Structure 1
């Protein structure tokens, strides 16, 4: 009973770190050090409200898959209005924001890692649980760093990654360590380092998709390598992930008459993470009509992903959470698309199209799967990127893709918002692709703000 109370105190105290000032400046309460067994640490890792479900989706909210009407926009709070128009501040000392939530996950992970060091005498006698806990903590830290750096920093650029500012890399649960921004290059290499260590500690698959696995770590390594334009490693990690689990769900077997056609635990899901973002909730956001019409009538995603509002506009309902919340975790399809794009960019067009086709034959009626010639690398890449956007809609990946694709002259994207006759434009490689860090954090830590 005492141990259960101690775990409850851990969860309560860490959850109470609800302001950025507390999170970055205060020393952890002594009661956080009550974990004395691996089961205690397991309970910390299993707090899904902290580790899997929190404020997410500001990347998707900043991207171009949706729009909101002017009257709706006027009704939003200041932060949401400014987020929609890529403003200079988007948090306004909010009690909950992704910066705080992702760093809370980092703190939990570091807390577990620090305590595992203190319990190293248990590594031999309880090796399986010890290794699994260490792998989970490393994965969660890497996942949070990945989300943070793709939101609050410029995308990886081979020429400037060493000098571009990344995010603070908190590698300890010691609150006394100073907060500084590492380079983008250092951040991405830290993510890779954590994931490479994690994949060799985790089980190949997880029976509980809220827990990471070797499969999930490889998927995230593939994503990370793709952003770094290391297409050889992106393909290799993706293929290794598929060697563990390559299962896809057949969309012809799903019922479009259901309010939410997909179940949470479908076999494509490798790692569950998600949440609700008011700005991109189906009650406010409407799917971009050009995007919607790009779905073929023979594409089953069109009927399963979308519903029609009374005014004829379109809303999204295809979340892999099987409910209102948006799925923003990792799925097997990530590997297929990452491998397909990487191989095509490496000149292995027919092999890349083979991976793409594995997904498309589960999405289209058989006679209507889009095809291109194997020797046409440009068309193959265009098809892959087009299908990638349609597959990953509302998964919080479009913002990442826009930023990285803007580094290639043949795939650059200019974003525009129209509100009551006013046009807001985000040009290619604009500084605003690195979202503003909460001003409260800037004032507390003195770290440099992203230029606007």
Structure 2
């Protein structure tokens, strides 16, 4: 573990040499690179680059969570937001949602740049008998980081995946080099998701089953993100396959009754369910003092559901705020975890009408969540899916997943309309509305000439 800690400190120096110019980029995807930059040439340097937890693991994309329906803001809190973009995002306004330069788009593509730096430089290092395991691990981590960034970007900036239209729907600009001179052109959504799944499958073939630490990617993490990706693509057989593969490597479930609700943040970081530690500080609208959990969701937790005590903090006005992050602090956890894998496995089993397996999955989870839980009794596919999807929403609250769940479930005919009220004004987002793909920051469009999302 001492080598791991040393690599984290080394990363600070290396990242300063490599990526400091990014903070001054006129635009992230179009700034020319500086050929005088010091670039690492050793495997340990490349590993150190990816051990920078503050960047690699702490810049997840949460604009989708801001846009989703698990919370609300009071009129006073909404009016007090210092940033107009936050107010516009909350009400699903069509444009001008993001700060200049530093936003979810730039955060996502900065991770792509990190990963591409490693993938380019590792090609200059000969893989041999003495370094094969380390070489494979480093490359696998870079592929994983890149795929994770693309998946989160696609969830926010692209429409829900639909196999019938994915060849024409707008995807992401797929960057495969560190050359800022490369023109930014949006690939079709099908090609974007193909890139994600291809990189994750390659990563899984290279990574060890268990990482040195949950800050690093592993085979289990790659399988977990593949399960999430295929679920979002509504390719449920593939999602089932990879959730199963992930759970065969890591399957621990926390007994919530053993945790103390008296702690400010009761869920411990790096706990036994965490497959890969990935998070972000909550955006302003999602801060614990402002974001109130909608009553429809809060009331779905029974009195004997331990999550009701662990996940929420009561407010003086009778509302509740969320405190159940797997980071053990205000930051919102977005990485794959075993509870998510069980829920994917259960949902996909139910969709295949395997109600026995779906019931076993749900029982395994809920017996560690609900005092006196006696087991599920699924009688048909529709009833099972309704139960499982409700538990999914309750269990995976504030994990950066709800926005894509609404999008994909509306493709399944769920007919979920999002609604908000600010004073006398009412706002709504109907199923499959183009605004479910948030606008690419306008300054990026202006300088790159990329196509903006239709409004």
| Equivalence for 2:288 | 282
| Equivalence for 1:414 | 417
1:188 equivalenced with 2:193 (yes/no):
yes
Shift, 1:92, TM fit: 4.6
- When normalised by structure 1's length, the TM-score is 0.95
| 1:203–1:31 Cα change, 3 Å | farther
Residue pair 1:7, 1:35 contacting (<8 A) in 2 also: no
Where structure 1 has 5 or more consecutive residues not aligned to the other structure, the ranges are: none
| Equivalence for 2:5 | none
DSSP-derived class of the 2:420 partner: strand
Shift, 1:274, TM fit: 1.0
The separation in 2 between residues aligned to 1:112 and 1:327, in whole angstroms, is 25
The equivalent position to 1:145 in structure 2, one of 116, 136, 150, is 150
1:294 equivalenced with 2:300 (yes/no):
yes
Residue pair 1:6, 1:35 contacting (<8 A) in 2 also: no
| Equivalence for 1:305 | 311
| Equivalence for 2:390 | 386
1:163 equivalenced with 2:168 (yes/no):
yes
| 1:290–1:10 Cα change, 3 Å | closer
Residue pair 2:18, 2:38 contacting (<8 A) in 1 also: no
| Equivalence for 2:334 | 328
| Equivalence for 1:258 | 263
> 353-362 or 380-389: which moved more?
353-362
Q: How does 1:2-401 map to 2 (within 5 A)?
A: 8=13, 10-18=15-23, 21-54=26-59, 56-76=61-81, 77-119=83-125, 121-276=126-281, 277-367=283-373, 369=375, 371-373=376-378, 375-401=379-405
Shift, 1:22, TM fit: 3.9
Shift, 1:228, TM fit: 1.5
Shift, 1:90, TM fit: 4.2
Shift, 1:172, TM fit: 1.3
CA RMSD of aligned residues (A): 1.7
DSSP-derived class of the 2:421 partner: strand
Number of aligned pairs?
445
| 1:309–1:54 Cα change, 3 Å | same
Residue pair 1:319, 1:325 contacting (<8 A) in 2 also: yes
Render the CA deviation track for 1:163-211: whole Å, top value 9, x for unaligned: 1001111111122211110111111111000000001111101131111
Residue pair 1:62, 1:399 contacting (<8 A) in 2 also: yes
The equivalent position to 2:427 in structure 1, one of 424, 429, 435, is 424
Render the CA deviation track for 1:364-414: whole Å, top value 9, x for unaligned: 113455x333x31111000000000000101110001000000112x2210
Shift, 1:24, TM fit: 1.3
The separation in 1 between residues aligned to 2:248 and 2:342, in whole angstroms, is 11
Shift, 1:253, TM fit: 0.5
The separation in 2 between residues aligned to 1:6 and 1:248, in whole angstroms, is 32
The separation in 2 between residues aligned to 1:299 and 1:93, in whole angstroms, is 39
Residue pair 1:6, 1:34 contacting (<8 A) in 2 also: no
DSSP-derived class of the 1:315 partner: strand
> 219-228 or 20-29: which moved more?
20-29
| 1:7–1:303 Cα change, 3 Å | closer
| 1:6–1:372 Cα change, 3 Å | closer
> 423-432 or 334-343: which moved more?
334-343
| 1:40–1:346 Cα change, 3 Å | same
The equivalent position to 1:446 in structure 2, one of 440, 444, 449, is 449
Residue pair 1:10, 1:32 contacting (<8 A) in 2 also: no
The separation in 2 between residues aligned to 1:396 and 1:101, in whole angstroms, is 15
The separation in 1 between residues aligned to 2:439 and 2:103, in whole angstroms, is 12
DSSP-derived class of the 1:386 partner: helix
Residue pair 1:9, 1:31 contacting (<8 A) in 2 also: no
- When normalised by structure 2's length, the TM-score is 0.94
The separation in 2 between residues aligned to 1:9 and 1:367, in whole angstroms, is 51
> 340-349 or 383-392: which moved more?
340-349
Where structure 2 has 5 or more consecutive residues not aligned to the other structure, the ranges are: 1-8
DSSP-derived class of the 2:29 partner: helix
